[in-house]
Structure 1
Amino acid sequence: MANYSADDVKRLREATAAGMLDCKKALDEAEGDYDKAVEIIRVKGLKGVTKREGRLTSNGLVVAKVQGEVGVMLELNCETDFVAKGERFIALGDELVEHLVSSKSADVAAFLSSTMANGKTVQAVIDEGNATLGEKIEIRNVAVIEGPVGLYLHKTSPDLPPQVGVLVSLAKEAAEVGRDVAQHIAAFAPRFVNREDVPADLIETERRLAEETAIAEGKPEASLSKIIEGRVTGFVKEVSLIEQAFAKDAKKTVKQILDEAGTAVKAFHRFRVGQ
């Protein structure tokens, strides 16, 4: 019988995020040798990577970094919150975002195929993460933005890493306003900077839905046009950042806050884990 303790099982589980039974089996096979048990779990994990391809990755983290006037952010996903809050998964996110700073690959496919300082591609490092952590790991989103940059990361639970992240590109440096606007975007989830950015087909879809809803509600035919346009206008304001009421001062719009600071939002990215 292999010679190992409950502490050895706990240590192996914390290091690899493998299940308790898998850790015990690995220690049995390794005859109590911890390092060998780690390798056994890793090898078995690599063999199981393809089996995990269809699994859902609804947990994970958002990690970001601003260096000079360049901001980068990525969403790294996993299957369970147990892995998401583990040191190894968080360290993997930090390692990947550091590479994103240097590679500036704004496309997921391009980023996955880029080569890291260790000579491995990002995809190879992700595959190793799959093996070591025993779960499907994937990068869902990446963003690269030039600034000045505002950044905000939000934890939806104190025991988890950030689940929401926002990068904002400003026309002129305004650090406090940049962070405040990024925080506003995290909370209110606008889809576009201003109404001119809203696609015409999206507006037409909203107009059709507004008409169908108004008719179903039995609104007078003479008032339909006004009601429909009012609802479409409301929709456009709702999805346009600069027209939203500012989170920290609802008496002002985001545009007014930006104007007072002498700046404007050129672009933004908002990631939320699993969305």
Structure 2
Amino acid sequence: MAISLEDVKALRERLGTGMVDTKNALVEADGDIEKAVEILRLKGAKGNAKRADRSTSEGLIAVVESATAVTMIELACETDFVAKNEKFIALADQVVAALADSGAETVDAALAAPAGSGTVGSLIEDQAAIIGEKVELRQVARVTGDKFAVYLHRTSKDLPPQIGVVLAYTGDDAETARGIAQHISFAAPIYLTRDDVPPTEVENERRIVEQISRDEGKPEAALPKIVEGRLGAFFKQVSLLEQEYARDNKLIIANVAKDAGLTVTGFTRFKVGA
């Protein structure tokens, strides 16, 4: 049967598929649009299997905020071309909204969470089949707290956010809280305080800096003081409250927060591909 250009256009707008694939699916389906959708999805699903081993180094960060929690995800794809595609961005919005409703806090729980008539996992698979690239949910976080500062950073003006930070805090100075969130995006701390660093990680760092100090020929009597000094530098690198403030390196984050009447209760930082 003859296939109208209007039907081809409507199906392409619905799925984002190529002209030739769309027309061929409609021909195979004898003009039945819903059957053509099924044909294209099945064809895409086979493509998903072939793409399983491909790397996903591009993508975006998406966030949904409620009164008591913020949900943040990293949705990954293969190319920056897809990362800025409207359908990929819309998929990320659907996924993060579904996860905010479900309360999922891990990738496994997120993939099993309900989304529409299926799950988040099936939604991603279906859209990956249409988009034509491997798409995966790489990271999920749910940050709870009293108040939040959310900062999304674009590493390129033509791409969606590539770095996302959620800062939970108490206090009233929202501007300073946002400044700390921006600092986190730049400085990439791992822990809130030095007490949050696992003891095994501290001991491993202690062993390394002691060996470095010995190899440098430092006096044995001075080693304990040198090692502690280098451990202090390590804590400044990984612990948010001990870091020098990116906007003023004469200040440390703990004092910036204190002077603003803020208490930082937690944070999460995602970076695409990291």
CA contact (8 A) 1:27 1:37 kept: no
- For each residue in 1:107-140, what CA deviation from the matched residue of structure 2 results, as whole angstroms up to 9, or x when unmatched? 2111211112x22111110110121111111111
The question of 1:259 aligning with 2:258 is answered: yes
- Structure 1 counterpart of 2:20, which letter? K
Corresponding position of 2:110: 111
Corresponding position of 1:24: 20
Superposed CA RMSD: 2.7
Corresponding position of 2:197: 198
Corresponding position of 1:100: 99
Q: 2 CA distance for matches of 1:29 and 1:127? A: 19
Q: 1 CA distance for matches of 2:17 and 2:181? A: 33
Q: 2 CA distance for matches of 1:14 and 1:80? A: 22
**Post-superposition offset of 1:4:** 9.8
Corresponding position of 2:237: 238
Corresponding position of 1:47: 46
- State TM-score, norm by structure 1: 0.87
Corresponding position of 2:64: 65
Q: 2 CA distance for matches of 1:42 and 1:75? A: 24
Q: 1 CA distance for matches of 2:178 and 2:95? A: 23
- For each residue in 1:120-175, what CA deviation from the matched residue of structure 2 results, as whole angstroms up to 9, or x when unmatched? 11111011012111111111111111221110000011111001001111133432
Q: 2 CA distance for matches of 1:253 and 1:171? A: 18
Q: 1 CA distance for matches of 2:216 and 2:182? A: 37
Corresponding position of 2:163: 164
**Post-superposition offset of 1:13:** 9.8
Gaps of 5+ in 2: none
**Count of residue pairs the alignment pairs up:** 266
Q: 2 CA distance for matches of 1:152 and 1:39? A: 39
The question of 1:137 aligning with 2:131 is answered: no
After alignment, is 46-55 or 131-140 more displaced? 46-55
Q: 1 CA distance for matches of 2:178 and 2:117? A: 35
CA contact (8 A) 1:16 1:134 kept: no
CA 1:14 to 1:180, structure 2 compared with 1: closer, same or farther past 3 Å? farther
The question of 1:83 aligning with 2:82 is answered: yes
Gaps of 5+ in 1: none
Q: 1 CA distance for matches of 2:196 and 2:24? A: 60
After alignment, is 73-82 or 207-216 more displaced? 207-216
CA 1:157 to 1:34, structure 2 compared with 1: closer, same or farther past 3 Å? farther
- Structure 2 counterpart of 1:160, which letter? L
- Structure 2 counterpart of 1:24, which letter? V
- State TM-score, norm by structure 2: 0.87
CA contact (8 A) 1:113 1:121 kept: yes
Q: Secondary structure at the match of 1:193?
A: coil
